């Protein structure tokens, strides 16, 4: 199907006494991306904003010696989004030729959805901008977003496919963002400037039309509402209960359920524990710049807080966590810390080698999981992925104009920089990068010369 889209929009802005500013915009999009219902193809959206330049008011003239600027902002709007990967039509995936029939086999990827419509997001934002003493500036924003997203939802068995992308995913985001710039020193020979930016976001699923499977809750999902009331980027784990003093096998909470109480349709969160979000709750950046005459030093730092991550299992090269790996496999040194004898369970959480013929668990949903796989997906392997990183250091020098004239050039600049200088993170990463998990980001060194004639 050819994708056709048509848009109409109008904007209006009005300013009164250079103090009060009003903005309004309206837009109407029409797309044949959506179903047979013509009303679903139309997406009327709008937004408006108010701004008050407080410092222009006569009663603020007495504080201008220390408060140089103050601006209040308020905006509200509705946005529409047309997903290009989802359509209203029957979609088939052609497979290979079936020998018995000597014809191509096809698999239904999605069934017709005449009610498919635009994703809608309602956004409210309140902001403040101000400047103090002509050296300290700050921008602060608080936002609230409510979305009706297209998410994966369960279908009745008679439709022939278990899930489908449908409208109806209620997701709410709220957060704060701020940027601070500070220049405490600004002189002929010396200058120091500091810039800080930060944001914190909260998101919560407000509806759940999808019965999440155990595997999805263990790995997490960014496009499915796994459980109402939890963040969209949340994930769950098996609850680790320690190691057996007999053979060092991993033990778990909430999995020992009588056979007559097991149910394949049970909610996995009844025997799993919530481990957190894969995305950070707080992000921040810090930039410092110091200048002495023609010599400058600048740096860039990053801070991420609140994210959780599952560590790689040292038993990953072991097939099912049991069979001895190949001699060419690179094994983790953490295996040296494994359980080896009774009493080791007091100071290690790494299971010992499997020596039993029985090395799997029967779960409350009638599924099975190998001991080592369950341990690798347990909360024992979940760590705080927060970190503080020095992203870059740069040292630069510019030759003075008088000296440049003496040697017959217009300008000369030298610079040297290094990227990924250091990172401070949870010691359980064993020196690996917290963003990568099992490797490190290399340091990059560069040197530059800039000559102008």
Residue range 93-134, pLDDT digits in tens: 888 888 888 888 888 888 887 777 777 889 999 999 999 988
Q: How many residues does the chain have?
A: 453
Q: What is the rounded average pLDDT of the residues 195-215? A: 81
Band (209; pLDDT cuts 50, 70, 90): low
Band (203; pLDDT cuts 50, 70, 90): confident
- pLDDT at position 291 over 90: yes
pLDDT of residue 164: 78
pLDDT of residue 404: 85
Token output for 282? 């707080």
pLDDT tens readout for residues 308-339: 999 999 988 887 667 777 777 788 888 999 99
pTM: 0.77
- pLDDT at position 416 over 90: yes
pLDDT of residue 208: 60
Regarding predicted confidence, which is higher, 275 or 400?
275
- pLDDT at position 366 over 70: yes
3-state SS record for the chain:
CCCCEEEEEEEEEEEECCCEEEEEEEEEEEECCCCCCHHHHEEEEEEEEEEEEHHHCHHHHHHCCCEEEEEEEEEEEEEEECCCCCCCCCEEEEEEEECCCCEEEEEEEECCCCCCCCEEEEEEEEEEEEEECCCEEEEEEEEEEEEEEEEEEECCHHHCCCEEEEEEEEEEEEEEEEEEEEEEEECCCEEEEEEEEEEEEEEEECCCCCCCCHHHHHHCCCCCCCCCCCCCCEEEEEEEEEECCCCCCEEEECCCCCHHHCCCCCCHHHCCEEEEECCCCEEEEEEEEEEECCEEEEEEEEEEECEEEECCCCCCCCECCCECCCCCCCCCHHHHHCCCCCCHHHCCCCCCCCCCCCCEEECCCCCEEEHHHHHHCEHHHEEECCEEEEEEEEEEEECCHHHHHHCCCCEEEEEEEEEEEEEEECHHHCCCCCCCCCCCCCCEEEEEEEEEC
Regarding predicted confidence, which is higher, 26 or 125?
125
In terms of Cα–Cα distance, which of 147, 144, 143 is closest to 119? 147
pLDDT of residue 63: 83
pLDDT of residue 358: 81
Cα–Cα distance, 250 to 241 (Å, whole number): 7
Q: What is the rounded average pLDDT of the residues 33-55? A: 75
In terms of Cα–Cα distance, which of 386, 428, 381, 384 is closest to 237? 381
- pLDDT at position 395 over 90: yes
pLDDT of residue 373: 93
Band (32; pLDDT cuts 50, 70, 90): low
Q: Say what percent of the chain tops pLDDT 70.
A: 94
pLDDT tens readout for residues 225-241: 788 888 888 999 999 99
- pLDDT at position 361 over 70: yes
pLDDT tens readout for residues 136-191: 999 999 999 988 877 777 777 777 777 777 777 778 889 999 999 998 888 888 99
Q: What is the rounded average pLDDT of the residues 371-393? A: 95
Regarding predicted confidence, which is higher, 147 or 262?
262
Q: Are 222 and 203 in contact (CB under 8 A)?
A: no
* Average per-residue pLDDT for the chain: 87
Token output for 438? 């099992």
Number of Cβ within 10 Å of residue 447's Cβ equals 8
pLDDT of residue 427: 92
Which of 29-43, 293-307, 359-373 is least confident? 29-43
Q: Are 431 and 425 in contact (CB under 8 A)?
A: no
- pLDDT at position 89 over 60: yes
247: CB partners within 8 A, 6+ apart: 352, 355, 356
Band (41; pLDDT cuts 50, 70, 90): low
Band (284; pLDDT cuts 50, 70, 90): very high
pLDDT of residue 391: 94
């Amino acid at each position: 199907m050819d994708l056709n889209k048509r848009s109409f929009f109008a904007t209006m802005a009005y300013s009164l006494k250079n103090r009060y500013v009003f903005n309004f915009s309206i837009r109407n999009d029409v797309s044949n991306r959506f179903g047979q219902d013509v009303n679903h193809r139309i997406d009327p959206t709008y937004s408006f904003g108010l701004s008050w330049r407080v410092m222009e008011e006569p009663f603020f003239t007495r504080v201008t010696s220390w408060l140089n600027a103050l601006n209040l902002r308020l905006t509200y709007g509705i946005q529409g989004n047309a997903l290009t990967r989802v359509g209203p039509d029957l979609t088939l995936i052609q497979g290979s030729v079936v020998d018995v029939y000597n014809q191509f086999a096809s698999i239904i990827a999605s069934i017709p959805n005449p009610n498919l419509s635009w994703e809608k997001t309602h956004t409210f934002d309140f902001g403040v901008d101000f400047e103090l003493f002509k050296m300290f500036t700050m921008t602060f924003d608080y936002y609230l977003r409510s979305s009706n997203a297209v998410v994966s939802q369960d279908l009745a068995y008679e439709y022939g496919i278990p899930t489908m992308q449908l409208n109806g995913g209620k997701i709410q985001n709220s957060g704060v963002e701020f940027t601070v710039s500070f220049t405490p020193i600004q002189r002929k020979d010396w200058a120091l400037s500091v810039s800080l930016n930060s944001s914190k976001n909260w998101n919560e699923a407000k509806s759940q039309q999808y019965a999440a499977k155990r595997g999805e809750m263990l790995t997490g999902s960014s496009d499915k509402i796994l459980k109402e009331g939890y963040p969209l980027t949340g994930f769950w784990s098996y609850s680790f209960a320690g190691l057996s003093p007999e053979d060092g096998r991993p033990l778990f909470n909430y999995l020992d359920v009588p056979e007559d109480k097991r149910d394949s349709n049970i909610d996995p969160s009844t025997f799993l524990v919530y481990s957190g979000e894969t995305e950070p709750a707080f992000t921040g950046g810090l930039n410092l710049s110091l200048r002495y005459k023609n010599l400058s030093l600048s740096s860039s730092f990053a801070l991420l807080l609140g994210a959780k991550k599952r560590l790689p299992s040292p038993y990953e090269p072991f097939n099912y966590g049991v069979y001895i790996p190949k001699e060419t496999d690179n094994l983790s040194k953490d295996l040296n810390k494994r359980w080896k004898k009774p009493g080791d369970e007091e100071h290690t959480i790494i299971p010992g080698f499997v020596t039993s013929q029985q090395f799997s668990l029967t779960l409350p949903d009638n599924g099975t999981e190998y001991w080592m796989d369950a341990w690798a997906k347990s909360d024992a392997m979940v760590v705080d992925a927060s970190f503080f990183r020095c992203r870059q250091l740069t040292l630069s020098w510019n030759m003075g104009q008088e000296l440049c004239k003496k040697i017959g050039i217009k300008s000369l600049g030298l610079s040297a920089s290094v990227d990924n200088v250091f990172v401070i993170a949870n010691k359980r990463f064993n020196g690996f990068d917290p963003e990568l998990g099992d490797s490190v980001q290399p340091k990059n060194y560069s040197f530059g010369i800039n000559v102008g004639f």
